[in-house]
Structure 1
Amino acid sequence: MTAKIGIILAGLLGMLGVAAGAFGAHGLRDRVGPRELEIWNTGAHYQQVHAVVLLAVALWALSASTRGEPVALHGVAMSLFVAGIAIFSGTLYAITLGGPRILGAVTPLGGLCLLAGWLTIVVLGLRQVG
């Protein structure tokens, strides 16, 4: 993934995360139970946090590319964060809106993508130190 695409996706995912949070607070509050609302809010929270992280990695990649440094690993991290948001938050939203509970078995795959994205940042950091 390129820095430009990462920045654009970060903006879109951040905006949609805010919209999801507002929808949960105002549109779902009287339509679902407290447990379902908690599930929705977890999805919105993780989406917003990781949209900011995606933006940071994209800006890091942009900066690195202007210095002539390799940015392939930045692209891997960005892709993992986008996949993680889509799978983790997406399945939580779907479950809250009445989707099949079996989606709960897929949700951890999104969490693994998010963890792998963070691990990729660790590797990038270790490469910077050396």
Structure 2
Amino acid sequence: MKLFLMLGSISGFLSVALGAFGAHGLKARLDEYSLGVFQTGVTYQTTHALAIILVAMLIKWYPEATGLTWAGWCFVAGTLIFSGSLYTLAISGIKTFGAITPIGGVLFLIGWALLAVHAWKIAS
């Protein structure tokens, strides 16, 4: 629980810092497309930072639910792969980084599905 709270908080902090960096530091350096790619990474990182914090809270209430831990790790890994590949693609222009972005997206989907399974179990 504590680890996911820390990871989610750090990810949220970094998403704000990276968003500001993109808006102010990269605006003059990147074309509109690359800036949009960078911003997409920031948006997904922010969203999933909150999801990681949600997982931390749910683990505190439901410590026996191992699926929550898996969901948390999917969100962490998804953020690193999805947002990280988009940041790298935007800044470097190397298109092959875009090829690994969907792996992060799949990890996000798995994380959300695991949360849904948990919700179903506690509602039953």
TM class by shorter chain equals over 0.9
For normalisation by structure 2, the TM-score amounts to 0.97
Q: Which residue of 2 aligns with 1:22?
A: 20
Runs of 4 or more above 2 Å deviation: none
CA distance, structure 2, for counterparts of residue 106 and residue 27 of structure 1:
25
Q: By how many angstroms is 1:99 displaced?
A: 5.0
Equivalent residue letter for 2:16: V
CA distance, structure 2, for counterparts of residue 14 and residue 48 of structure 1:
6
SS in 2 for 1:97: helix
1:111 paired with 2:105, answer yes
For normalisation by structure 1, the TM-score amounts to 0.93
Aligned length: 124
CA distance, structure 2, for counterparts of residue 35 and residue 109 of structure 1:
21
| Unaligned runs of at least 5 residues, structure 1 | none
| Unaligned runs of at least 5 residues, structure 2 | none
Q: By how many angstroms is 1:71 displaced?
A: 2.7
Residue identity (%): 37
1:48 paired with 2:46, answer yes
Q: By how many angstroms is 1:126 displaced?
A: 0.8
SS in 2 for 1:18: helix
| Among candidates 74, 77, 98, match of residue 71 of structure 2 | 77
